[in-house]
Amino acid sequence: MRSLSQAAEMLYISAVIVAEIRLDIARVAEPGRRIERNDWFKLSARPVFERGVRPVSEGNMLHWRLPTEEGRRIGQTISQRDLMIVATALEYGPAIGSSVTWICEKARVLAALERPATARL
């Protein structure tokens, strides 16, 4: 059995997801809730990925063109942020997870932000 800290060392996310979460927090209209969410992210969620945030790089952007071209070919518009997340996964390999995993994880984190702080304890 792995400990929580050992498991956390195996978690990776794209810097794009970190930026999206921070943007979503900044958009919260009520200052008290925005501060609470920001504190939760800085003190609880973000440290889990301290060594596991994968940056957007030139290599990512070379991978970005593949799903971008495929989307254009089939007439599908895909969010550029989601494409950058996919490119990160393509750059770093299967250990980083699939685009579906990234999108589901982002949704889970944002849903957690909607719950009161006491429900997250």
Residue 13's pLDDT is 82
> How far, in Å, are 36, 86, 94 from residue 62 at the CA level?
38, 11, 17
The pLDDT profile of the chain, 121 residues, written as one tens digit per residue, is: 555 455 556 677 888 888 989 999 999 999 999 999 999 999 988 888 777 888 888 988 888 888 888 888 888 888 888 888 888 888 876 554 444 455 455 555 555 555 554 444 3
Q: Cα separation of 76 and 54, whole Å?
A: 26
Residue 113's pLDDT is 52
Asked whether 54 and 91 are in contact (CB, 8 A), the reply is: yes
- Please state the length of the chain: 121
Asked whether 90 and 66 are in contact (CB, 8 A), the reply is: yes
Paired tokens of 18? 């970190």
Residue 65's pLDDT is 86
